[in-house]
């Protein structure tokens, strides 16, 4: 039998349900792998080893349950999901000692499906970043090459999957934070339609953009994980009532006859030669399989980065106003007045990237600038959404790169925010439009040997069709893990 920690989520689920392996064995194997790899990778902020094994023993005592599709599976969740009795920090000193009194809705549904949460994974502080270098508790390294970034902000979740610490994990995607680290770490990840998954109990970054989703080594694994958590929630006013399909039962559709739109502005961007080489070969493979590739022009995409960072930072400045040293999180000492308390608490416990975005957002919302920045960005968002609707009316899906670079060296862009923000061009517009997108590996760079990925973009709530096409693409581009 394959080493337990290398089983895919679907393989492990089958063996657990048939009692060929026990929950304690599966959870124990993941914890042992985590212990062996964590000193180098640093993917996790909190490991729930004893609690996880206790849960696994209780599951074994009760026995497998077909009605609980994730029974006995060890999973991780990004450290923005509240976990009752287990520290939740959002990778910020502000929440360093925060122990939630309740579970996020996603965590509730995972537990109900039989999953065992083994760890909380690292991220850029408050999910603001694309490299997991902006964590207050130390950076995460890419398992493919430890001098490289794993992507972000869900870099810990992706690195954990790629290091075989767990067969799957959950992250959040505000501007590419599931798809980009999945791409850089060689695994699959889906950003669902906005409203498909409840945001209840998730530490907020930008409320109109945040969406939770899974990362795993296979497309079908992502489908099974999404099926377990998707659906309406009366505690989240933005969650959709749209019916949830049995994503795990998706069947691969033929590539022949599939019509894929290529956004010209993304494919003609300044791609690294390693990325361009892999993606050029991928398009050749698709054409050879009978897929029809059609270029589309997206005039509004050139405004994506500017519009996103105005809107996301504005929402962040509002959401993070609660962290004032009075109501939430830690409080800095001092004998001054209230204004000094606010300033000293924020300066002491918020990192430089978070403070930068709060300042940017506060400026965009301030009197005299609201119309020029926030309202203009909101109008651009509508243009982007309309462009996507027109393009998707003429094809089955859109296909685009995920990152213009393979995983880059740690520290390369950490002091260059303008260049760093520009690296998000490929992913931001999907969040602005609220669409679902599935990221999957397309191959390894011919020289550097690092993963390169693609994303498949669909109409709202077409996750089932997205998984069907993704399964076919996975056959064309074999998994890297």
Question: Whole-angstrom Cα distance, residue 198 to residue 465?
Answer: 21
Question: Whole-angstrom Cα distance, residue 405 to residue 393?
Answer: 30
- DSSP-derived secondary structure letter, 247: G
Burial (CB < 10 A; 0-12, 13-18, 19+), residue 145, is middle
Within 256-335, strands assigned E span 259-263, 292-296
| 371 contact partners, CB below 8 Å, separation of at least 6 | none
Decide if 288 contacts 354 (C-beta within 8 A): no
For residue 42, which of 118, 107, 113, 123 has the smallest C-alpha distance?
A: 123
Cβ neighbour number for residue 268 with a 10 Å cutoff: 10
SS (H, E, C) 348-416: HHCCHHHHHHHHHHHHHHCCCCCHHHHHHHHHHHHHHHHHHHHHHCCCCEEEEECCCCCCCECCCCCCC
Phi, psi of 48 (to 5 degrees): -100, 60
Pairing of strands 397-401, 451-457: antiparallel
Strand-by-strand arrangement of the 397-401 sheet: 44-47, 116-121, 74-78, 168-172, 212-216, 188-191, 437-444, 451-457, 397-401, 259-263, 292-296
- Among all residues, which ones are annotated catalytic? 78, 153, 177
Question: Whole-angstrom Cα distance, residue 220 to residue 188?
Answer: 9
For residue 226, which of 61, 79, 69 has the smallest C-alpha distance?
A: 69
Decide if 178 contacts 196 (C-beta within 8 A): no
- DSSP-derived secondary structure letter, 253: P
Decide if 113 contacts 168 (C-beta within 8 A): no
Cβ neighbour number for residue 324 with a 10 Å cutoff: 16
DSSP string covering 173-233 = -SSSTTHHHHHHHT-EEEEPPTTSB--TTB--S-TTT--EEEEESSHHHHHHHHHHHBS--
Question: Whole-angstrom Cα distance, residue 246 to residue 79?
Answer: 27
């Amino acid at each position: 039998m394959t080493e337990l920690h290398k089983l895919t989520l679907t393989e492990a689920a089958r063996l657990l349900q048939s009692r060929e392996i026990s929950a304690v064995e599966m959870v124990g194997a993941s914890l042992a792998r985590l212990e062996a790899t964590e000193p180098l990778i640093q993917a996790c902020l909190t490991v729930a080893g004893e609690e996880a094994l206790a849960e696994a023993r209780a599951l074994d005592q009760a026995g497998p349950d077909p009605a609980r599709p994730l029974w006995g599976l060890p999973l991780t969740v990004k450290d923005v999901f509240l976990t009752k009795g287990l520290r939740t920090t959002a990778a910020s000193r502000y929440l360093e000692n925060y122990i939630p009194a309740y579970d996020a809705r996603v965590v509730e549904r995972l537990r109900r499906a039989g999953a065992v949460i083994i760890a909380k994974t690292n991220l850029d502080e408050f999910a603001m970043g694309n490299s997991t270098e902006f964590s207050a508790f130390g950076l995460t390294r890419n398992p493919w090459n430890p001098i490289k970034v794993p992507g972000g902000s869900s870099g810990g979740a992706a690195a954990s999957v790629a290091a075989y610490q767990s067969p799957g994990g959950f992250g959040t995607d505000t501007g590419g934070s599931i798809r980009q680290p999945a791409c850089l770490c060689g695994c699959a990840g889906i950003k669902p339609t906005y409203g498909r998954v409840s945001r209840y109990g998730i530490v907020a970054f930008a409320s109109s953009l945040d969406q939770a989703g899974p990362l795993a080594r296979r497309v079908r694994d992502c489908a099974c994980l999404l099926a377990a958590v998707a659906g309406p929630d009366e505690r989240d006013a933005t969650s959709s009532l749209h019916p949830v399909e049995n994503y795990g039962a998706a069947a691969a559709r033929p590539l022949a006859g599939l019509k894929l739109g290529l956004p010209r502005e993304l494919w003609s961007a300044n791609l690294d030669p390693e990325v361009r080489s892999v993606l050029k070969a991928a398009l050749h493979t698709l054409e050879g399989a009978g897929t029809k590739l059609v270029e589309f022009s997206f005039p509004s995409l050139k405004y994506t980065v500017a519009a996103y960072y105005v809107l996301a930072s504005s929402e962040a400045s509002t959401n993070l106003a609660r962290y004032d040293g009075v109501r939430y999180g830690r409080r800095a000492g001092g004998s001054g007045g209230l204004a000094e308390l606010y300033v000293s608490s924020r300066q002491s416990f918020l990192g430089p990237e978070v403070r930068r975005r709060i300042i940017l957002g506060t400026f965009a919302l301030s009197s005299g600038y609201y119309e020029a920045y926030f309202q203009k960005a909101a109008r651009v968002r509508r243009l982007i959404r309309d462009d996507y609707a027109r393009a998707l009316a003429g094809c089955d899906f859109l296909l685009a790169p995920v990152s213009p670079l393979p995983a880059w060296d740690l520290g390369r862009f950490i002091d260059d925010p303008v260049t760093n923000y520009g690296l998000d061009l490929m992913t931001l517009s999907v969040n602005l439009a609220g669409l679902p997108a599935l990221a999957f590996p397309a191959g390894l760079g011919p020289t550097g040997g690092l993963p390169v990925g693609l994303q498949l973009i669909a109409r709202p709530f077409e996750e089932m069709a997205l998984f069907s096409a993704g399964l076919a693409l996975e056959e064309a581009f074999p998994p890297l893990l």
